[in-house]
Structure 1
């Protein structure tokens, strides 16, 4: 059934996807696992967008579908949480020169439902906005998003400015959003890169010692 959820969401079959989510919850499946499969479907959508199979309307539709899945799953996740205390704080945003927000929004949602306070700066954010947010909010993690390859330079300069401001110690940086790999991670001087939203959650939990 998990494979069916990925397939339904990747093929833009919203009602079928929501029915499968309801069935999985009724069977007692882990809501985090369900969100993981939904995130996997979003990765498929992103790949189809990159190869020209899907276009902007499908990206928007998939983002809305992910939000609806999250709304269904969120109460079950809240019931599982044994403490209201947040695991930590994550500053999140799409870097200068990039206006894509669907991947960022999914990561932000997944972090929130897993117990993190998320400071979402939005899209096309200049380096100084990230520096200011880190200075004011003292996050454990800085998450930089960018779908386009031009975002790599913005990620690099953002991290450099955070370092120049003396804010890098004790702060972990993860990048994601497009075709990320370890070469890009080394170029930007980030601590990690994420292929999907669950990778970002796992990194944040590891950083927070959760």
Structure 2
């Protein structure tokens, strides 16, 4: 098994103590930092699929994401000078009136692992705060709004409308338990993701479209 394959397997298994060493070994063998990162992103894609299909649960997913972030830490200094390493900045937050953050945190980790710089606004975020964050940060390509309560669906709608009105060039992606693709389209979002794995794929798609 090549070192990159080993990195992939260990990220998937959530072996955060072993991943940094294996990433370093893969680099020493001559693998490109970008290729190693891609292997870890692919690995998290598999984890995301297993999570979606109910094979694994939130704890396993968090453990794998942690293993990946340890690997990314080794690569960061090498990729800092590589302008292609970042797909831009993504602003993320749970909409006003909603205090759930586990799903949002997972999505944030997955989108970051796909190559974005993340700005996490936390929970109970008013629509205007999303707009302010777009203005305060450089190279924002994407705003991700999460809503996990049916009662906060209007707040999700307001957040999308406010961001779109103030920053029409910014893509908005939404998700959360009560959100459907139809509702996402209805409120004018550019993308919808049912889970963290697909959020990363969709984020990449929107940023590079």
TM-score if structure 2 supplies the norm length? Answer: 0.68
Where structure 1 has 5 or more consecutive residues not aligned to the other structure, the ranges are 113-117
Matched-pair contact (CA < 8 Å) for 1:135–1:167? no
Judging changes above 3 Å, is the alpha-carbon distance between structure 1 residues 69 and 56 closer, same or farther for their aligned structure 2 residues? same
Structure 1 position 111 matched with structure 2 position 112: no
Matched positions, count: 196
Judging changes above 3 Å, is the alpha-carbon distance between structure 1 residues 147 and 25 closer, same or farther for their aligned structure 2 residues? farther
Shift of 1:38: 1.5
Alpha-carbon distance in structure 1 between the residues aligned to 2:131 and 2:29 = 45
Alpha-carbon distance in structure 2 between the residues aligned to 1:90 and 1:35 = 18
Judging changes above 3 Å, is the alpha-carbon distance between structure 1 residues 190 and 143 closer, same or farther for their aligned structure 2 residues? same
Matched-pair contact (CA < 8 Å) for 2:89–2:138? yes
Judging changes above 3 Å, is the alpha-carbon distance between structure 1 residues 87 and 185 closer, same or farther for their aligned structure 2 residues? same
Query: 1:191 maps to what in 2?
Result: 190
Query: 1:168 maps to what in 2?
Result: 167
* 1:1-41: CA deviation from partner (whole Å, max 9, x where unpaired): 44443332222233443343223222332322322222222
Alignment of 1:14-163 (within 5 A): 14-81=16-83, 89-96=89-96, 97=98, 98-100=100-102, 101-108=105-112, 110-112=115-117, 118-134=118-134, 136-137=136-137, 140-146=140-146, 153=153, 155-163=156-164
Which runs of structure 1 show a deviation greater than 6 angstroms over 4 or more consecutive aligned residues?
A: none
Where structure 2 has 5 or more consecutive residues not aligned to the other structure, the ranges are none
Judging changes above 3 Å, is the alpha-carbon distance between structure 1 residues 198 and 35 closer, same or farther for their aligned structure 2 residues? farther
RMSD over equivalenced CA pairs, Å: 3.8
Judging changes above 3 Å, is the alpha-carbon distance between structure 1 residues 20 and 137 closer, same or farther for their aligned structure 2 residues? closer
